[in-house]
Amino acid sequence: MENDLKQQNNEMLNNWKKELAKVKGEDMNYYIMWYNSNNAPVIKKIDVTKEIGDDFKGILDENISAINDDNISQYEQLDGEIDTDYKIIKVDEVQRAESIMGEIGKVKTPTVQKDEAESIMGEIGKVKTPTERKDEIEQTKGLNFIARLGDFFGFGTIVRRTIMEDKFKFLAIFDKSVRLSKVKEDYHLYYIPKEFSCIIFHEDIIVKNEKDFENIFKYREKMVSFIQSKSSITDNIFSDSAQFMRAVINDYRKTRKVNMVYSDSNANKITTDRLIEYSNHHKLDIKRDSNDESKISFEDSNPWHVIHAMAEDYYKGEITGNDYESKVKKINN
């Protein structure tokens, strides 16, 4: 099974690299994206300077060249974050990805040459002026960028910072024409990482930065929804199940862990007695509720001890007898 997956990944990556070699730099298009108050994606096409365009082309080349069949794994098979690894997930598994890709195809290039005409149109609510568009961008939280090269889509996050340039990233700002331009001053800047958080090509998404990926596509919403659908498991274990859910929702690492635990067909075998027995064996800080000993008090326990215990992350080596804690596990098929 694992060899089959490696072969599939290798074939996919070779195809990616062949297709990338056919695409020219002038085919690059750039967008910014955020979510509005209704939680719907807003996507705007932007212009960039040639210098930034060349940078993005090089970033995409480097990012794809760095991926190989040894450092990529299936996203759904992992229950935690691995910073140095790449993960792959299918586009049809990520509902927001499909809708965003569709929205990108509808985006038109804004006309910015005639400010006076735009001002008139802006006043009647049909077209925003460059200044209005710039103000809208600067007031928006959760700003992301998309670089499109042929059928490749690179996604990342834009962070506002007042910070000096360093060797890992370049600094940019939206000028009065709403064009992304490089700057070097210590200024209120848009800070763009020099690698993509994830890359989409046809049916596959390669994930480099899990946290950014989940924020860009709000993928964690799907996991949270699934965990909530398994409320009977949570309610049977915890006296303060609402507090447990808040902790899971507020930390994407906990979300990933619990999502995989609850996805297992044996999840209903997790009971208070088994968790306490496991806790005693590994000397964990997990406590029964003083008012209802049939349940765990999440509030009085160490949150990570509880979640690691649910995921059975603590174990003793069969050969050495050493005690271990696993931060991330991969399902062995």
> Could you tell me the residue ranges of all domains in the chain?
2-218, 221-325
Which of residues 329 and 19 earns the better pLDDT score?
19
Alpha carbons 160 and 60: distance in angstroms, whole number: 22
In this structure, are strands 179-182 and 41-48 parallel, antiparallel, or unpaired? Answer: parallel
pLDDT confidence bin for 320, thresholds 50/70/90: confident
Residue 114: its pLDDT value, please? Answer: 43
pLDDT confidence bin for 171, thresholds 50/70/90: low
Average pLDDT over every residue of 177-199: 69
Residue 77: its pLDDT value, please? Answer: 67
Average pLDDT over every residue of 258-286: 93
Average pLDDT over every residue of 111-131: 48
Residue 306: its pLDDT value, please? Answer: 95
Residue 117: its pLDDT value, please? Answer: 39
- Window from 183-192, 211-220, 235-244 with minimum mean pLDDT: 183-192
Residue 239 in this model has a pLDDT that exceeds 50: yes
Residue 61 in this model has a pLDDT that exceeds 80: yes
pLDDT confidence bin for 134, thresholds 50/70/90: low
Residue 113: its pLDDT value, please? Answer: 44
Tokens of 173: 């700002």
Instruction: Give the list of residues 6+ apart from residue 68 with CB closer than 8 angstroms, or none.
Output: 10, 13
Dihedral angle computed from the Cα positions of residues 68, 74, 77 and 82, in that order, rounded to the nearest 10 degrees: 50
Mean pLDDT of the chain: 79
Residue 124: its pLDDT value, please? Answer: 40
Alpha carbons 218 and 276: distance in angstroms, whole number: 34
